[in-house]
Structure 1
Amino acid sequence: MLNLKNESEFRAEIFARNPRGVSEILSRARVCILGTGGLGSNVAIMLTRAGVSEFFIIDFDIVEPSNLNRQHYALKHLGSPKIEALKEQILGINPYAKVQILNEKITSENVRHILKNEKIICECFDGAENKAMIANLSAEFKDKIFVCASGMAGLGEANFIQTRKFGANLYICGDSTSGAGLENGLISARVMLCAAHQANAVINLILNRA
């Protein structure tokens, strides 16, 4: 059991393998995550392990058995709101993290108000309509960065999943083709590949390396 007296000692020990100076930059970053399913739950955990210490996480769903094949939850979380289960896990990795949660469905009516103060927004929704709604906001809000996802279903080649930049502030991760229909399904490894692309893009954006 770690016996670290303060946050500074904690960060020095836990993030000792990060390049020099990176942990300090990541610790000051705030990331908004829309959706806490196969993409969002894994993005949040990867960013936490990298050293990001402030999150705004939005979802309205609960953990169901069918989520366990690809989402970062366990049997003990079944029936719990996803945002609460994910917050618990983040704080279990970094007890000094700041995790703001909102149990609400994002719609075209409330999205602008909810995101008004956010700078880095990670779109992790399931539905194509909601994905398009967030991606389209990038043209309206030039002061925000949007990291979205499109296409990670099935058992396609790992190298087909890529990170592409569109315009000045929109990044889309995935293969842009494989929808989650009955013929494809959602397999953990490929969903997590896309989540890793999103997390990696966010880290590089925070570090001004994108």
Structure 2
Amino acid sequence: MLEEDEKLIVFVNGKEEKGDWNTAYEVREQFAKKSDVVIVNGFQINENVELKDQDEIVLIRKGIMPKEEELECMLTARHTPAVHGKLKKGKVAIAGLGGLGSNIAVSLARIGVGMLRLIDFDVVEPSNLNRQNYDIRHLGLLKTVALKQQLQDINPYIQIDTVNKKITEKNAAELLKDCEIVCEAFDNPENKAMLINTVLTHLPGIKIVSASGMAGYKSTNLIRTIHPMKNLYLCGDFETEAMAGCGLMAPRVMVCAGHQANMVLRLLAGEEEV
């Protein structure tokens, strides 16, 4: 038996523990014999590893939603405390829940953004399933309702606000005023321009991440992110519009949505350059 001052100090699911263990699996045996997943310092291990003082261990059972504090520990370990703390405080609105918006929302929920406001007035239709993050079981549901279900399956501990109405020049400022970042995710160019102009003109403290040009199946390497002016970020190839023979399809749309979500992540983390 080791002396008290010789024992190893580690953090198990966020709680400081002191003991005689040498390896991660010895900790698992003491605290969570049924756990299938062992994460050490943010990385899941598949074979036993030796521990060092102050290591962080997260123990999670497969197929079971962890408690809020356990999930927080896991995300913190994955993202680092400084970054995750900023994401948890984030407030992001997503205007339009189609191919762009639904995929942006899923990415932001997975990284633990604290509050997501989902804005749309439409229902899920069969034609949406080729690129939007919905299942057959969602057909006929309001997109706000269907997407909230999806996000709660990913992370039930984030705040999800839903607004079942069309965003317009008249109501946009009121709907968005308490958010840090707005993701513009409309199909219609006029609606895109309206939202960008409204945010830049009436909400000077809010950043907007917009998109243009992701139709068809040209190279995804053409899609990029630019910062054309203060508080405005644009993602896409900026020229390929949906038209006859060049429809909106999952791969390019999801790549563009990934650019938007990553720009939101960078902004929340304090990085304003693309």
Q: TM-score range by the shorter chain?
A: over 0.9
Corresponding position of 1:111: 172
Q: CA RMSD, aligned part only?
A: 1.4
Q: Distance in 1 between matches of 2:66 and 2:247?
A: 44
Query: Does the alignment pair 1:40 with 2:101?
Result: yes
- State TM-score, norm by structure 2: 0.73
* Aligned pairs (5 A) from 1:76-87: 76-87=137-148
Q: Distance in 1 between matches of 2:162 and 2:65?
A: 28
Corresponding position of 1:159: 221
1:17 Cα deviation after fit = 2.4
1:138 Cα deviation after fit = 4.3
Q: Deviations over 1:26-82 (max 9, x none)?
A: 111111000000000000000111121211110001001110110000010000000
Q: Secondary structure at the match of 1:118?
A: coil
Q: Distance in 2 between matches of 1:55 and 1:108?
A: 21
Q: Distance in 2 between matches of 1:3 and 1:147?
A: 32
Aligned partners of 2:112 and 2:158 also within 8 Å: no
Corresponding position of 2:52: none
Q: Secondary structure at the match of 2:160?
A: strand
Q: Distance in 2 between matches of 1:106 and 1:138?
A: 12
Q: 1:24 to 1:146 in 2, by over 3 A?
A: same
Instruction: Could you tell me which runs of 5 or more consecutive residues in structure 2 were left unpaired when the two chains were aligned.
Output: 1-62
Question: Which has the higher mean CA deviation after the structures are superposed, 158-167 or 9-18?
Answer: 9-18
Corresponding position of 2:86: 25
Match of 2:196 among 135, 159, 162: 135
Match of 1:197 among 259, 267, 273: 259
Q: Distance in 2 between matches of 1:40 and 1:185?
A: 17
Q: Deviations over 1:166-191 (max 9, x none)?
A: 21100010111111111210110000
Q: Secondary structure at the match of 1:147?
A: strand
- Name the structure, 1 or 2, with higher relative contact order (CA <8 Å, separation 6+): 1
Q: Distance in 2 between matches of 1:120 and 1:59?
A: 17
Q: Deviations over 1:145-172 (max 9, x none)?
A: 0000111001111111111102110001
Query: Does the alignment pair 1:184 with 2:250?
Result: no
Q: Distance in 1 between matches of 2:222 and 2:65?
A: 44
1:134 Cα deviation after fit = 1.4
Corresponding position of 1:122: 183
1:120 Cα deviation after fit = 0.7
1:20 Cα deviation after fit = 4.1
1:15 Cα deviation after fit = 5.4
Corresponding position of 2:77: 16
- State TM-score, norm by structure 1: 0.94
Aligned partners of 1:138 and 1:170 also within 8 Å: no
Match of 2:126 among 65, 72, 81: 65
Q: Distance in 1 between matches of 2:100 and 2:109?
A: 14
Q: Deviations over 1:106-165 (max 9, x none)?
A: 122222222222221000011000001112234313211000011100111111111110
Q: Secondary structure at the match of 1:8?
A: helix
Corresponding position of 1:169: 231
Q: Distance in 1 between matches of 2:131 and 2:143?
A: 14
- Overall identity of the aligned pairs, in %: 45
Instruction: Could you tell me which runs of 5 or more consecutive residues in structure 1 were left unpaired when the two chains were aligned.
Output: none
1:22 Cα deviation after fit = 1.7
Aligned partners of 2:75 and 2:111 also within 8 Å: no
Aligned partners of 2:121 and 2:165 also within 8 Å: yes
Which residue identity does 1:192 align to in structure 2?
M
Aligned partners of 1:15 and 1:50 also within 8 Å: no
Which residue identity does 1:161 align to in structure 2?
I
